[in-house]
Structure 1
Amino acid sequence: MRIFYRLANSSTALIRVDKGKSKTVRASTFVDQLKLRVIGGKGGDGCVAFTKHFAKEYAGPDGGNGGNGGHVIFQPTKEISSLANIPSIVRADNGEPGKADNCDGKNASPTIIRVPEGTLIRNSEDRKLIIDLIESPFLAARGGLGGKGNKFFTTAVNQSPMICEYGSRGEIMNYFLEMAVIAHVGLVGYPNAGKSTLLSALTRARPKVASYPFTTLKPNVGIIPFDDFSQIRVADIPGLIEGAWRNKGLGHEFLRHIQRCVCLIYIIDLTWDPEKQLQALKNELNMYDPTLTEKPSIVVGNKIDLEDAQMNSNNFRTDLNISGKHSVNLKALISLVKDFYDESKEKTSNILL
């Protein structure tokens, strides 16, 4: 059995509320930064050889050329969401050497390294941005060219060259990979504001939920599917603290993950000074990147089921008051999020929709 949320724009959010989530604890290694070296394959050496035919002692040179070394290519994909499985050193295959009887060596196939969409490729020394991998692959290191065999060096003057070329070495490049979580909606709030609980209520994600702050140490992403085949990705960003824009704590590690979001949802804990929370959160975003505060946003008061929250909500204006724990007003929240998504789908070019 499924219970659907029918929204105002006639889309249906496919949220299964009657099915329990797995209790299995799976080991998860989330890596969003990685320094690595990529080495292009070496080209194959050329060959020195001469044709030997019956009754034709000097038939001429027939040494083949070596094959080209393989390239190293970064290919963005939606199928992976972490840099954890990428080795720190990537070496492409070498080209095969040339052989006698004019047999050229085989070119090595390129080594494809799959990275999450939206991975930033930076110079490893000065961290200068080289490319933002959204759709197109990136040639990280070229393979070396294959060497020429002695057949190539035959001239009218020298009919029997005894020389060939060594294959050239491939490029050696050092990169710093930085992953920015691609999500349509980013949940921003203080530690223990209820972001993980809300993400768990809206999606099938299983973030860690506990009664103490900083339970979320890495971004968690959940998906809200709709019956029109659209999907909205919601990211639970670890809680911000004052001074995060100065990289206090792990400020920059968290803030950079919301730069691609189309819409931000400020999750305000209504049990204590909601106005102070909202102003502090906006100040942190503005000091880090002024464009973040210009993004479409929704101010949501959470924990409305608590007595203190109900008292504070009378003096604090929000777009919506919810309770992630008890699923209060989630239908209205999904409707707001879907409206922002539809409005931004054609206007926004800095995120994969």
Structure 2
Amino acid sequence: MKFIDEATIKVYAGDGGNGVATFRREKYEAMGGPNGGDGGRGGSIYMIADRNINTLVDYRYSRVFRAQRGENGRGSDQYGAGGEDMVLRVPVGTVISDKATGQVLVDLAEHDQKFMVAKGGNGGLGNIHFKSSVNRAPRQCTKGDAGEEFELYLELKVLADVGLLGMPNAGKSTFIRSVSAAKPKVADYPFTTLHPNLGVVRVDANRSFVIADVPGLIEGAAEGAGLGHQFLRHLSRTRLLLHLVDLAPFDEAVDPVREAKAIIEELRKYDEELYNKPRWLVLNKVDMLEDSQQRVAEFVKALGWEGRYFAISALAGQGCRELTYAIMEHVEAVQAEELLAGHERVESHS
């Protein structure tokens, strides 16, 4: 199924019901007084994050959502029933923005997180509220308030600990197949990956992390070339980026150093915050090189890379185990830091 990661919808909360102006009319009660009830509240619209939903495909075809209107008030002091609220379920990781202003309303990053996106209108007042000692037969009543309406932009950012970067055919899909149970398509032509793939890498019995493989980048991606720029948003939540480089390209005219520099530059152009995330260099297909250690050293020097790097063969599994354990340690360290920071924030507010 195609991965749908964005959608635009319109939401209309229910209008409040109108209040009424009625009077009590019973036998022997000619001057019964006002008894008009209030209108009911209009239904509101909520968004709730659901981990059992993977895409926004449901909102590609149904784009308009209207909550129920509140009932009008009635005589005999009867208030109108409130409109039923509407709940829209979206995948965990959905960011909801106001389409008109671009303002982010909420980031639904946790299962069962709920947010009101459009509030129902209040019901109007019946004439029972307007009686007084000097106005014993009020004929005033008010109409219900209109419900809120918005055009919303929904954007799904997948929740992964590790994101894979690289040119098409760098071996990202092969790597994710090698270390996880995910089975993305693998072939010897560019843009094999057309949508993000998520894989759970289980290191030990109770230690695992989630890795995301997105379509490969090419030069000009930040300006819209290729497919990868559409999915760079999915890397914004990751704790670590792995930059995979093909050290043994099929085309001998391809320069791995130049391609690696192009990817780094595209990342910087697209998002400075993403560019500054922790990033490791992973040199793939070393099993196809005769003097792999020397080639790896030459590449690292030519690139001017001073960070952490690994040499692997995703196809043969060479070096993958060491890399996954190193990733697990990094993810656990970042999680511990985030947990500590969360406790400190709670204590500072208490």
Look up the equivalent residue of 2:173 and give its one-letter code. S
For normalisation by structure 1, the TM-score amounts to 0.82
Equivalence for 1:79: 52
Does residue 144 (structure 1) correspond to residue 121 (structure 2)? The answer is: yes
Does residue 92 (structure 1) correspond to residue 74 (structure 2)? The answer is: no
How far did 1:309 drift? 8.7
2:287 counterpart SS class: coil
Does residue 64 (structure 1) correspond to residue 37 (structure 2)? The answer is: yes
Equivalence for 1:12: none
Equivalence for 2:7: 34
Look up the equivalent residue of 2:277 and give its one-letter code. K
Judge conservation of contact 2:203–2:324 (CA < 8 Å) in 1.
no
Does residue 315 (structure 1) correspond to residue 298 (structure 2)? The answer is: yes
- Quick one: structure 1 residues 298 and 143, their matched pair in 2 at CA, closer, same or farther if it must change by over 3 Å? same
Judge conservation of contact 2:181–2:199 (CA < 8 Å) in 1.
yes
1:29 counterpart SS class: coil
**Higher share of residues assigned helix:** 2
* C-alpha distance in 1 between matches for 2:291 and 2:118: 56
Aligned counterpart in structure 1 of residue 323 of structure 2, from 307, 313, 333: 333
Judge conservation of contact 1:118–1:180 (CA < 8 Å) in 2.
yes
Equivalence for 2:259: 277
Does residue 254 (structure 1) correspond to residue 231 (structure 2)? The answer is: yes
Equivalence for 2:189: 212
For normalisation by structure 2, the TM-score amounts to 0.82
Judge conservation of contact 1:271–1:308 (CA < 8 Å) in 2.
no
Look up the equivalent residue of 1:257 and give its one-letter code. H
Provide structure 2 residue ranges, at least 5 long, that are not aligned to the other structure. 250-254, 301-307, 343-350
How far did 1:40 drift? 0.9
Aligned counterpart in structure 2 of residue 238 of structure 1, from 211, 215, 223: 215
Look up the equivalent residue of 1:51 and give its one-letter code. R
* C-alpha distance in 1 between matches for 2:25 and 2:290: 97
Aligned counterpart in structure 2 of residue 124 of structure 1, from 79, 99, 113: 99
How far did 1:189 drift? 0.8
- Quick one: structure 1 residues 161 and 230, their matched pair in 2 at CA, closer, same or farther if it must change by over 3 Å? farther
Provide structure 1 residue ranges, at least 5 long, that are not aligned to the other structure. 1-27
* C-alpha distance in 2 between matches for 1:155 and 1:102: 16
Judge conservation of contact 1:43–1:147 (CA < 8 Å) in 2.
yes
How far did 1:60 drift? 2.2
Equivalence for 1:8: none
Equivalence for 2:334: 344
How far did 1:229 drift? 4.2
Number of residues of Structure 1 aligned to a counterpart in Structure 2 = 323
Alignment root-mean-square deviation, CA: 2.6
Q: Describe the superposition over 1:307-349 as per-residue Cα deviations: whole angstroms up to 9, x where unpaired.
A: 4794844633473222222333322121011011011113359
- Quick one: structure 1 residues 207 and 149, their matched pair in 2 at CA, closer, same or farther if it must change by over 3 Å? same
* C-alpha distance in 1 between matches for 2:105 and 2:70: 28
1:316 counterpart SS class: helix
* C-alpha distance in 2 between matches for 1:73 and 1:293: 34
How far did 1:118 drift? 3.4
Look up the equivalent residue of 2:121 and give its one-letter code. G
Does residue 178 (structure 1) correspond to residue 161 (structure 2)? The answer is: no
Look up the equivalent residue of 1:191 and give its one-letter code. P
Look up the equivalent residue of 2:162 and give its one-letter code. V
* C-alpha distance in 2 between matches for 1:67 and 1:198: 58
Greater displacement, 117-126 / 196-205 = 117-126
Aligned counterpart in structure 2 of residue 324 of structure 1, from 289, 309, 314: 314
1:45 counterpart SS class: coil
How far did 1:121 drift? 2.7
* C-alpha distance in 2 between matches for 1:54 and 1:134: 62
Greater displacement, 262-271 / 82-91 = 82-91
